[in-house]
């Protein structure tokens, strides 16, 4: 029944879209495909029983979105997005899940951005206003949507409906708007960070509070190169942050800021060539992450002088918002199954550090200290066992943001990434060893572990799951799972020889920020429970640390041997 469902089905639905949902419609022409989905919608609307099952709603939404994605230039594309929004809003009326109302908003907003001249644009704005007012109780947001209908579409059929809504909200909005302005007036872009290697660039924007944003991409013109820009409402720039910021390597030449209007901060990335972009947000502290990889090359060259100029193109948002279309999976680095090449380089990550102590045991043992000691011992054993280069993300007590850790591994073109942690639980009797790889997880325990290691809430972990599969491919998942299995087996087998009550909690998939974006097989090892008094004592013990490190190195050796990745001289 729909009332038993959670965000998981919504995540699965969005995953299907990323992996090519709607592909089955490609065999049809757009009109037939649209009408076929419309028939499903009408059937759903006429059946109270069908409406009780969430998958029926998601099936219809998926179908409409598939039409829009397969035929983005056809006249039915905005119709399909509009119907996807209506269906998502109908789902909200049954589920009362906020995510469903916000999903409807996304589809209505896509119409306005991508098809502003379509006859449904003002209808979409009106529906967005209704969703905000009636479903999400956001009066200030609803006021903005209805005012856009009146201001931008005075000749549209929604004008006569939006105007009285605007008048009715006028008395309520000032207080709401004042609260909103007070809440956001101190939101500032504090820092801009960049990491690059030969294949990719990662740009991170650090903010002192949560912001909303839109991403737009501009192709190269006669006078200028390609660009990506972010429009961030109700945000400013910290006085200590000087722009433009110039980079002498990577895909981004410089980052600069400006204001297209008084209440919008615009951040522009001037690119050296066309790119594919992946953009997502991370919480606590809030930052926007842009992962860039080289584009197809079709629009790398600057158009000839005879090509029409793109004058004022940065404001023609309807033609340049491409973040929902044709986003390919990033290039992945899978170690070659070639005997004699060996594992060249492994990055070992000591979890937490600096201002982030991680979990703390009853006797005051800090996770960040344990993981650093383990990382140093593991590096020594890996070098001895495999004869490869081992790099530590940190070799002292310093804070490193989660997204920078995999960026280090990517930049160094590492073959493997291993992140070390100590587990924790509210139940002090919980004990055991488990190893994770990045993947969508329905396991409640795995999600709780991820929430702690991500330093974020369970709800935000759910949001992370929505973007995971846009950043992964089956090859990497399979290799990470294989590596995790070998490490887990070696850990349990070796430690059982020396210690009692060694519990095998197995290998699990989980949504971990620290693994997000890694382009090589990567795992997160929970070596023991620091919240368990017995295992806390073990984690502090140098002998236990050494046996654990030796076991992990043994697991990596098994993985390398199975794939013929051992160097020829070993």
pLDDT in tens, 327-365: 333 344 445 544 445 688 999 999 999 888 988 998 999
In the chain, the largest separation of any two C-alpha atoms, in whole Å, equals 80
Q: Which residues pair with 270 in a beta bridge?
A: 227, 254
Residue 18's pLDDT band (cuts 50, 70, 90): very low
The pLDDT value recorded for residue 73 is: 86
The answer, as to whether pTM is greater than 0.85, is: no
Cα–Cα dist 422/409, whole Å: 21
The pLDDT value recorded for residue 376 is: 96
The pLDDT value recorded for residue 167 is: 84
The pLDDT value recorded for residue 449 is: 61
Mean pLDDT, all residues of the chain? 79
Average pLDDT over residues 401-405: 79
Taking only the tens place, the pLDDT of each residue in 174-216 is: 665 545 544 545 688 999 998 887 778 899 999 988 888 888 8
Taking only the tens place, the pLDDT of each residue in 216-240 is: 888 887 777 899 999 998 888 887 7
Between 166 and 78, the more confident residue is 78
The pLDDT value recorded for residue 503 is: 94
The pLDDT value recorded for residue 177 is: 56
Most confident range, picked from 187-201, 405-419, 420-434:
420-434
pLDDT of 48 above 70: yes
DSSP, collapsed to helix, strand or coil, labels residue 88 as helix
Q: Is the dihedral of CA 13, 19, 25, 31 positive or negative?
A: positive
Q: Which residues pair with 63 in a beta bridge?
A: none
- Across 14-28, 82-96, 305-319, least confident range: 305-319
Tokens at residue 193, please?
């960070």
Taking only the tens place, the pLDDT of each residue in 290-311 is: 989 887 643 333 332 222 233 3
| CATH fit for domain 2-183, picks 1.25.40.10, 3.30.300.30, 3.90.79.10, 2.120.10.70 | 1.25.40.10
Distances, alpha carbon 253 to alpha carbons 38, 204, 269, 275, 391, in Å? 46, 15, 8, 13, 28
pLDDT of 317 above 70: no
| Cβ pair 539, 369 in contact under 8 A | no
Residue 109's pLDDT band (cuts 50, 70, 90): confident
Cα–Cα dist 123/105, whole Å: 12
| Cβ pair 295, 275 in contact under 8 A | yes
Distances, alpha carbon 484 to alpha carbons 210, 294, 295, in Å? 34, 30, 32
Average pLDDT over residues 315-324: 30
Cα–Cα dist 232/437, whole Å: 33
pLDDT of 19 above 80: no
Residue 446's pLDDT band (cuts 50, 70, 90): low
The pLDDT value recorded for residue 11 is: 47
Between 213 and 565, the more confident residue is 213
Distances, alpha carbon 247 to alpha carbons 192, 254, 280, 451, 515, in Å? 11, 6, 22, 34, 26
Alpha carbon 458 to its chain centroid, in Å, reads: 15
The pLDDT value recorded for residue 89 is: 94
Let me know the angle formed at the C-alpha of 454 by 450 and 456, rounded to the nearest 5 degrees: 100
| CATH fit for domain 187-319, picks 3.20.20.60, 1.10.10.10, 3.40.50.300, 2.60.40.3500 | 2.60.40.3500
| CATH fit for domain 345-562, picks 1.10.10.10, 3.40.50.720, 3.40.630.40, 3.30.870.10 | 3.40.630.40
Between 84 and 4, the more confident residue is 84
Which residue is it, tokens 């992964």? 472
Taking only the tens place, the pLDDT of each residue in 140-178 is: 888 888 888 888 888 889 999 999 988 888 777 766 554
Q: Which residues pair with 258 in a beta bridge?
A: 266
The pLDDT value recorded for residue 237 is: 86
Per residue, the 3-state secondary structure of 227-287, as one string, reads EEEEEEECCEECCCCCCCEECCCCCEEEEEEEEEECCEEEEEEEECCCEEEEEEEECCCCE
Cα–Cα dist 245/242, whole Å: 7
pLDDT of 559 above 50: yes
Angle between helices 7-18 and 458-468 (to 10 degrees): 20
Average pLDDT over residues 36-48: 92
Q: How many CB atoms lie within 10 A of CB 4?
A: 6
Between 91 and 452, the more confident residue is 91
Domain ranges of the chain: 2-183, 187-319, 345-562
The pLDDT value recorded for residue 220 is: 81
Cα–Cα dist 239/209, whole Å: 16
Taking only the tens place, the pLDDT of each residue in 376-385 is: 999 999 999 8
User: Quick one: which of 6, 1, 3 has its CA closest to 441?
Assistant: 6
pLDDT > 70 in the chain, percent: 76
Residue 99's pLDDT band (cuts 50, 70, 90): confident
Helix or strand (DSSP H, E) at 128? helix 121-130
């Amino acid at each position: 029944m729909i009332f038993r469902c959670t965000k998981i089905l919504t995540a699965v639905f969005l995953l299907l879209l990323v992996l090519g949902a709607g592909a089955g419609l490609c065999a049809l022409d757009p009109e037939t495909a649209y009408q076929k989905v419309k028939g499903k919608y009408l059937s759903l609307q006429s059946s109270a029983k069908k409406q009780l099952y969430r998958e029926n709603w998601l099936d219809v939404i998926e179908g409409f979105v598939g039409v829009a994605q397969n035929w983005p230039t056809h006249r039915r594309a905005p119709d399909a997005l509009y119907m996807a929004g209506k269906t998502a809003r109908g789902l909200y009326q049954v589920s009362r899940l906020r995510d469903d109302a916000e999903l409807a908003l996304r589809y209505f907003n896509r119409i306005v951005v991508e098809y502003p001249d379509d006859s449904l644009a003002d209808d979409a704005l009106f529906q967005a206003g209704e969703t905000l007012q009636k479903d999400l109780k956001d009066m200030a947001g609803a006021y903005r949507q209805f005012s856009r209908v009146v201001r931008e579409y005075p000749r549209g059929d929604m004008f006569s409906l939006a105007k009285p809504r605007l008048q009715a909200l006028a008395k309520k909005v000032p207080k709401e708007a004042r609260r909103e302005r007070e809440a956001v007036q101190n939101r500032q872009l504090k820092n801009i960070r960049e990491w690059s290697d030969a294949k990719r660039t990662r740009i991170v924007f650090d903010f002192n509070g949560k912001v909303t944003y839109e991403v737009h991409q501009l192709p190269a013109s006669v006078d200028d190169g390609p660009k990506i820009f972010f429009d961030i409402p109700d945000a400013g720039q910290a006085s200590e942050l000087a722009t433009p910021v110039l980079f002498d390597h990577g895909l981004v030449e410089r980052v600069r800021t400006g204001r297209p209007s008084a209440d919008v901060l615009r951040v522009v990335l001037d690119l050296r060539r066309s790119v594919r972009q992946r953009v997502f947000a991370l919480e606590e502290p809030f930052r926007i992450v842009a992962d860039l990889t080289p584009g197809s090359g079709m629009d790398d060259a600057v158009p000839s002088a005879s090509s029409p100029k793109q004058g004022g193109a940065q404001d023609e948002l309807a033609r340049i918002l491409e973040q929902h279309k044709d986003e390919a999976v990033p290039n992945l680095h899978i170690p070659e199954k070639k005997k004699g090449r060996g594992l060249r380089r492994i990055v070992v990550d000591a979890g937490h550090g600096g201002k982030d102590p991680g979990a703390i045991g009853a006797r005051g043992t800090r996770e960040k200290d344990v993981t650093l000691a383990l990382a140093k011992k593991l590096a020594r054993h890996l070098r001895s066992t495999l004869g490869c280069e081992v790099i530590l993300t940190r070799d002292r007590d310093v804070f490193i943001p989660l997204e920078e850790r995999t960026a280090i591994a990517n930049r160094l073109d590492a073959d493997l990434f291993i992140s070390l942690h100590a587990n924790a639980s509210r139940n002090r009797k919980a004990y055991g060893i488990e190893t994770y790889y990045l993947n969508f997880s329905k396991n409640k325990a795995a999600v709780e572990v991820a929430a702690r290691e991500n330093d974020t809430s369970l709800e935000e972990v759910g949001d992370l799951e929505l973007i995971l599969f846009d950043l992964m491919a089956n090859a990497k998942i399979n290799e990470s799972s294989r590596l995790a299995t070998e490490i887990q087996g070696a850990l349990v087998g070796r430690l059982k020889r020396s210690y009692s009550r060694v519990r095998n909690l197995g290998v699990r998939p989980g949504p971990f920020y620290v693994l997000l974006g890694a382009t090589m097989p990567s795992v997160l090892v929970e070596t023991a429970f620091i919240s368990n008094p017995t295992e806390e004592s073990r984690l502090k013990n140098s002998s236990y640390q050494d046996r654990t490190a030796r076991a992990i190195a043994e697991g990596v050796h098994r993985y390398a041997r199975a794939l013929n990745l051992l160097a020829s001289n070993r």
